[in-house]
Amino acid sequence: MNGNKQSSFILKGDVIYSISANEMRTVPSGYVVCVKGKSRGVFEKLPQKYERLPLHDHSGKLIIPGLVDLHIHAPQYAFRGTGMDLELMEWLQQQTFPEESKYADLEYARKAYQIFADSMKKSATTHACIFATRHSQATEVLMDLMEQSGIVSYVGKVNMDREAPDPLRESSADASAADTRQWLAHVNGKYKRTMPILTPRFIPCCTPELLEQLHEIQTIYDLPVQSHLSENPNEVDFVRQLCPKSAFYGDAYDAFGLFGVNHQSGKPVKTIMAHCVYSTEEEIRRMKDNRVFVAHCPASNANLASGIAPIRKYLSLGIPTGLGSDVAGGHTESIFRAICDAVQVSKLYWRLIDQNQSPLTFCEAFFLATKGGGSFFGRAGSFEPDYDFSAVVLDDSLIPHPMKLSLPQRLERAAYGSLDLYGICAKYVSGDLIYEK
């Protein structure tokens, strides 16, 4: 990222962004104004006071806020799209664990993470919450590369001190915590756009002793938390066996202040839980009370035969929700793809599971991918005033069509047509042009 490219400027083009889950604002031939990395809003006619700012003319092209990926595993990017016909346990044993073990080797980590960072840079994603591996040095390499990419991200060194094969399992809760503290001493505050996030892999991989230590670290550094929740029926059963005192899966995190609230300090703990396919009513209530974010990962939940998360329910309850690619349970980093997958599986949910839960609209899914997930980062994922200025410009003339289309139709077709794979012209993050074709 080239810091000195950050500036104040105007984008001109066909603008579309979410106001709420049920409302998109469209401004054909509109002006999006960026002043010092923040949006000043979108205008049909350029206000006089901005007339002297340089104008980047993307007339005829689609301009949307950058997309937000609330859940992605950087080390799994290497094997994305392979072994997708395996089931979860085979997949972990044959693909995930052997690959993640390689990141003890910093040379390999650098090579693989460079590919990941380059791909993220070229994608439509501008904000991401990223799992690394348990290796703190490799995680720092990843953070260096993410910072260079220009994307805004939370990156977590993974904690895992049980139920994993030897090279990946940390030797003890103390060792895991010590490594985490050392990692934080290196990376906390080191970057402009890359922030650490506590990342206990999931309850089956973390002893209570480890969770207790992570709680202490959380209290000191006031860090956010990301993990997995209620993804798969067997996993949920296993957690029930491991934590007989927990009322439900999420309660096992909450007991250690790692589920939205630090009970010791009473402070909120920004928390994302990926999947939430099998969350019980009780768990859902706690998520709502504690303002826990749901990272909905529809592709992964299909690929790993997990099921379909009840996203309509989460939206109705006002639980903060966004989308996750979950590479490499998900096979692609494309959040456009996640938007379409979210709509598709919500239709199958309606048909196969519960006809009281209406399918998602495209408008709702686009909201999840932008402003919905973006709120984890503060004011991100929209062009409303004072939002972080992140934008993606798409050349949808590459999708030929015989008739006139509305802006929402053009956006929907761009998403369903995977235009992010070949039609991104420019990408801005926090006021910087980080990629241009």
Mention every residue, 6+ apart, whose C-beta is less than 8 A from residue 397: 60, 61
81, 165, 189, 268: residue in contact with its own copies (rule CB under 8 A): 81
Instruction: Please report how close the Cβ of residue 368 comes to its own copies at its closest, in angstroms.
Output: 13
- Told to check if 357 binds its own copies by CB under 8 A, we report no
Give the x/- contact pattern for its own copies in 109-128, rule: CB under 8 A.
--xx--x--xx---------
Helices (H), 27-129: 88-91, 97-101, 106-122
Listed ranges 13-21, 150-158, 339-347, 376-384: which one lies at the site for its own copies (CB under 8 A): 339-347
Nearer to its own copies, 295 or 365 (CB): 365
Q: Are 176 and 218 in contact (CB under 8 A)?
A: no
Listed ranges 180-188, 212-220, 221-229, 343-351: which one lies at the site for its own copies (CB under 8 A): 343-351
Quick one: which H or E segment has residue 429? strand 424-429
Number of residues that bind its own copies (CB under 8 A): 57
Nearer to its own copies, 177 or 340 (CB): 340
Taking only Cα atoms into account, the Rg of the chain, rounded to an integer number of angstroms, comes to 21
Give dist(CA 194, CA 313) in Å, integer.
32
Nearer to its own copies, 207 or 332 (CB): 332
Instruction: Please report how close the Cβ of residue 413 comes to its own copies at its closest, in angstroms.
Output: 4
- Told to check if 276 binds its own copies by CB under 8 A, we report no
Nearer to its own copies, 161 or 326 (CB): 326
- Told to check if 26 binds its own copies by CB under 8 A, we report no
Long-range pairs, 24-33, Cβ under 8 A, ≥24: 24/363, 24/366, 24/367, 24/408, 24/411, 26/406, 26/407, 26/408, 28/407, 29/59, 30/63, 31/55, 32/63, 32/383, 32/391
Task: Kindly list the distances between the CA atom of residue 60 and the CA atoms of 65, 91, 272, 415, in Å, as whole numbers in the listed order.
Answer: 16, 44, 37, 17
- Told to check if 189 binds its own copies by CB under 8 A, we report no
- Told to check if 170 binds its own copies by CB under 8 A, we report no
Q: Are 102 and 168 in contact (CB under 8 A)?
A: no
Listed ranges 127-135, 284-292, 318-326, 351-359: which one lies at the site for its own copies (CB under 8 A): 351-359
Instruction: Please report how close the Cβ of residue 205 comes to its own copies at its closest, in angstroms.
Output: 23
Mention every residue, 6+ apart, whose C-beta is less than 8 A from residue 351: none
> Could you say which DSSP state residue 204 is in?
G
Instruction: Please report how close the Cβ of residue 410 comes to its own copies at its closest, in angstroms.
Output: 8
Nearer to its own copies, 290 or 321 (CB): 321
Residues in the chain: 437
Give dist(CA 301, CA 211) in Å, integer.
26
299, 309, 323, 429: residue in contact with its own copies (rule CB under 8 A): 299
Instruction: Please report how close the Cβ of residue 17 comes to its own copies at its closest, in angstroms.
Output: 18
362, 377, 383, 428: residue in contact with its own copies (rule CB under 8 A): 362
Q: What angle do CA 394, 395, 398 make, to 5 degrees?
A: 135
Instruction: Please report how close the Cβ of residue 310 comes to its own copies at its closest, in angstroms.
Output: 13
Strand partners, 157: none
> Could you say which DSSP state residue 360 is in?
P
35, 106, 421, 425: residue in contact with its own copies (rule CB under 8 A): 421
For residue 351, the one-letter residue type is R
Q: What angle do CA 145, 146, 150 make, to 5 degrees?
A: 115
Nearer to its own copies, 37 or 417 (CB): 417
42, 117, 292, 415: residue in contact with its own copies (rule CB under 8 A): 415
Mention every residue, 6+ apart, whose C-beta is less than 8 A from residue 373: 68, 69, 70, 127, 293, 295, 321, 322, 323, 381
Nearer to its own copies, 362 or 377 (CB): 362
37, 83, 204, 208: residue in contact with its own copies (rule CB under 8 A): 83
171, 401, 436, 437: residue in contact with its own copies (rule CB under 8 A): 401
What's the first-to-final CA gap in the chain, in angstroms? 16
For residue 113, the one-letter residue type is Y
Nearer to its own copies, 127 or 337 (CB): 337
Task: Kindly list the distances between the CA atom of residue 434 and the CA atoms of 118, 120, 147, 427, in Å, as whole numbers in the listed order.
Answer: 11, 11, 11, 6
344, 382, 390, 430: residue in contact with its own copies (rule CB under 8 A): 344
- Told to check if 340 binds its own copies by CB under 8 A, we report yes
Question: Which residues of this chain interact with its own copies, rule CB under 8 A?
Answer: 78-85, 87, 108, 111-112, 115, 118-119, 299, 302-308, 331-332, 340, 343-345, 347-348, 350-353, 359-363, 365, 399-403, 405, 409, 412-418, 421-422
